[in-house]
Amino acid sequence: MTSLDIAENARRPFTGRRVRFGDIALQVVAGAAAAAVTVLVGLIIWKVIDQARPALSKYNVHFIFRVAWNPVLGRELYGAGSFLFGTAITSLLALALATPLALGVALFLTELSPRFLKAPVTALVETLAAVPSVVIGLWGIIVLGPALRNHIEGPIHSALGWIPLFGTPGAGASLFTAILVLTIMILPIVSSISRELILGVPHELKEGALALGTTSWEMIKGVVFPYARGGITAALILGLGRAVGEAIAVSQVVGGGVFIHANLFGTGDTLASKIAESYQGATTKLQTGSLVYLGLILLVFSLVANVSAQVIVRRVARKHGITRGGRA
Amino acid sequence: MSAQGLAGPGRHADHLARRRRVNRTMEILAWVAAAIAIAILVIVVYSVARKGASELNLNLITKDPIPFSLTNAPQGLANAFAGTLVIVGFAILMALPVGILVAIYLNEFAPAPIRNAVSMVLDILNGVPAIVIGIFVYGLLVLGHGQSALAGSFALACLMLPLVARATMEVLALVPNALREAGLGLGIARWRVTLSIVVPQTVGGIVTGTVLAVARVAGETAPLLFTSSLVGTQTDWSPFHALQSIPVAIYELSESPDPADHARAWAAALVLLIFILFASLGARWLATRSRAKMAAR
């Protein structure tokens, strides 16, 4: 009998002895806390659906792709189309910018960095993750926005303005600014998870590849990436979830508006930023309901994203024979 | 590879040179990526520090703001600092005990299927966007009762809970089974073994996890917009009133056209940032220390 078996047996109530009140009490209280968490998540889903009801019952699923947001009384019409577009553009482009950067940082920290740089750079990158979104938004609106307008958006527009993508001169607050702000916010998340995954690649595999004469890049391409691929996918999904759900920083820099356009330097809104901007000013039940409907779309997306990331992590863990916690 | 090796020494050398070049390029790109990431942090922190330092004085935390002020009387954000202390304080009181209990249940009592399921629920809760939490608490507590600091605390507690529970579970898993066995072997009741032997081992880790969770939620704006944002300009400590908070104040001031408001937003951002940097670096230092202590055992 191993010590684990003994511990397992010790967990079972010992028959033939009096049942201890304290044991039951602790188990019940702690179990109730765990049950409460589960109830809490259910309550969140129910409360959001409940508040979205005016819009849900009036618009049904037509709401989702309709491009409209007209709060004028008597001509009220709402739809999520333009915000879905804004959310998709900003978060996907932010992910596209952040992914190579984040993987670069992770590879630097695991494979390249001189020993004395490793700890400080890791701490700095994790610190970037802790900067509150409202501070990044403040920086985005006052420092980044004007700088982009004067040095990037302006010149690109005057040189390439005939391309619709650059067809607006840019006012500082734009989809482009939002993309950069989101990139900054998801970079540390993706890089710190990827770093842990790359650290988890067994040394024998890496050394085996190097011993066969590969360069370090070939070793990374041939051994590290295939091994960590599932986990990195999960990290990217989590980063995307973060970008999609970010309300405050985006609402500070995105400019607002209900359109679908191909202008990178034009303004827009995302699902989350629209809620943050308009919730306090909402006057009718239908408008509030429509805003919560936007939140419901966000909630559903975050549920799908998280569950799929978890499923991937667990499948990878099983494949590699790890039983607990893919991302320690 | 062997086929290419047989093709002749000249081609082999070319091939190797190309592989080396690719390798060099990729290494340089990784260096550049790390440099960019650090540059971003330095630029953000530098702008906040430079713009905030000029306005950073005692008035910021001792004086209340004066709306539509026409004089140059000193203004501050004392109400926001007081409000954040109250809101975050109550959030800790709500999230900490529940988070620790959940972790104890999952790690010490729950059968594997329940443990997996509730872990998944914690991850889902962790992934719910902060703004959706705001909508939820608005519907649950604010609608019909009005905003209050306690509603804000509850929203922040929802965000802290999975972080605290996860951190506690990680340290509980590190407690060696021999300790539990030794306690049980002495005939000590299971609940006493858990509460007096196992949990005290993990205090360092729980503190670390809590500090990191506080650092994360102290800067949250979205949930407070719905729950504690319609506020006066007087310093108030009552948890039953809606209280101003630092992140909401920064958010509102950042949208103001008045440069003096921007200056105060920067100063408040600087204070918030300093607190968060110290908290997360301190927590990291604590974590390394307590892990070293665990390993030494």
Which CATH number does the domain housing residue A232 bear?
Answer: 1.10.3720.10
Residues in chain A: 328
Nearest-5° Cα angle at A240, A236 to A241: 115
**What is the predicted ipTM?**
0.86
Q: Is the pLDDT of residue A6 over 80?
A: no
Q: Is residue A94 part of a domain?
A: yes
Q: Which whole-number Å values give the CA distances from A115 to A119, A220, A309, B38, in the listed order?
A: 8, 19, 32, 17
pLDDT at A328: 35
pLDDT at B100: 95
CB A98 within 8 A of CB A181: no
Mean pLDDT computed over A191-211: 91
**Residue B254: how many other CB atoms lie within 10 Å:** 24
At position A232, the amino acid (one-letter code) is I
Q: Which residues of A touch B265 (CB under 8 A)?
A: 138
Q: Which residues of A touch B48 (CB under 8 A)?
A: 135, 138-139
pLDDT at B281: 83
Q: Is residue A191 part of a domain?
A: yes
| Residue A262 burial (C-beta neighbours within 10 Å; 0-12, 13-18, 19+) | exposed
Give pLDDT < 70 ranges for chain B.
1-10, 68-73, 294-297
The CATH code that applies to domain B78-296 is 1.10.3720.10
Q: Is residue A185 part of a domain?
A: yes
The rounded distance, in Å, linking the Cα atoms of B61 and B215 is 19
The rounded distance, in Å, linking the Cα atoms of B243 and B192 is 41
**Residue B52: how many other CB atoms lie within 10 Å:** 24
For residue A224, what are the domain limits? Answer: 69-319
Q: Decide if B122 and A113 are in contact by the 8 Å CB cutoff.
A: no
pTM of the model: 0.87
pLDDT at B1: 45
Higher pLDDT among residues B61 and A76, named by residue: A76
Q: Decide if A123 and B284 are in contact by the 8 Å CB cutoff.
A: yes
**Two structure tokens written together for A159:** 């040189």
Tally of structural domains, chain A: 1
Tokens 């104890």, residue?
B104
Q: B237 phi and psi, to 5 degrees?
A: -115, 5
Q: Which residues of B touch A191 (CB under 8 A)?
A: 37
Q: Which of B1, B104, B125 sits opposite A37 (nearest CB)?
A: B125
What is the rounded average pLDDT for all residues in chain A? 85
Give the N- to C-terminal CA distance of chain A in Å, as an integer.
29
Q: Is the pLDDT of residue A326 over 50?
A: no
The rounded distance, in Å, linking the Cα atoms of A256 and A274 is 8
